[in-house]
Structure 1
């Protein structure tokens, strides 16, 4: 079995990246993520979704589009690895660049996905074929769902990525 998503596993929601704008579209911009230009993924910033509520006209929204060829700072909002090609949605909203906050897939409460936050990312994959899905969880939400008899995995869920 050939997996198409292997190179993209280095990318996580909440991760800051640099990207170069390659084209404009009515909804936003297509970009290439620095260091992943030949990884077989498609990446974009949905300017309409992110800024249409804060602008008064489409022309005002278009004025926010970064120029083609420009390098931008962005944060990975979500990644879809279910089918090829891998699709990466980026955000350039100032608040998201500071700390990307979404909801935990277990409890529904807010969770910070950016470094220093409390998010864990679980990749679910199958032996039967390519593709994967990402589940976002608070550390404690995952630990609570691991059966009590498996204390080692519960403890690891609470410590993954921690240096303190």
Structure 2
């Protein structure tokens, strides 16, 4: 199965790129991102600063055709083909680009060094990729703590826990909860006394 959504896989929302304006349209302009010329790209008039102070730039305020400009990747549409890159040229976005967090709804900074990341969601059932922005802290608060401590490549993982061990740990955690222990303290107690886990 060929996945069209792998095109431009090294592009990330919030990164600054160089782009060439290739045409002017009433809604904005078409562009080509340097290094990704095979992927269609565009910049909406609302993502171009207007010298006249309008919310959307006038056609005469667009950068000239064939001019290279700095832009920020605002969105990469990979849900349906073809893949499409949406750019912003606003000075404020070039300085710091933000987007609503998919978890809490507040703005998160996706520029390098910011507090946000872009999450891509794909399925083995077929091509197509959905994406959303999220605060790192929002994701950390929702992910299973064990996933955040996965061993690095080459690091010893140790034996996989058996079903009996998992069941025994659940029993210990349940008992600890009734005794007033937090799950974390209960796990620490369990790991410090392996005899409890093995019966």
Q: TM-score range by the shorter chain?
A: 0.7 to 0.9
Q: CA RMSD in A?
A: 2.3
Label 1:73 to 1:49 Cα distance change in 2 as closer, same or farther (>3 A).
closer
Q: Which residue of 1 aligns with 2:17?
A: 17
- Which of 42, 45, 62 is matched with 1:44 structurally? 42
Aligned to 1:96, what secondary structure does the other structure show?
helix
Go from structure 1 to structure 2 and tell me whether the alpha carbon gap of 1:25 and 1:70 turns closer, same or farther (over 3 Å shift): same
TM-score under structure 2 normalisation?
0.69
Q: Runs ≥4 in structure 1, deviation > 6 angstroms? A: none
1:128 match: 125
Q: Which has the larger strand fraction?
A: 1
1:150 shift after superposition: 3.9
Cα gap change, 1:48 to 1:141, in 2 (>3 Å): closer
The corresponding residue for 1:141 is 138
Q: TM-score, normalised by structure 1?
A: 0.83
Q: How many residues align?
A: 151
- The corresponding residue for 1:112 is 109
Q: Which residue of 2 aligns with 1:88?
A: 85
Query: Which has more radius of gyration?
Result: 2
Distance in 1, Cα, partners of 2:65 & 2:148: 52
Identify the match of residue 70 of structure 1 among 67, 70, 82.
Answer: 67
Does structure 2 retain, via aligned residues, the 8 Å contact 1:51–1:61?
no
Structure 2 residue runs without a partner (length 5+): 153-199
Q: Distance in 2 between matches of 1:89 and 1:142?
A: 25
Indicate how the Cα distance of structure 1 residues 67 and 122 shifts in structure 2: closer, same or farther if over 3 A, else same.
same
SS at match of 2:36: coil
Q: CA deviation at 1:87?
A: 1.1
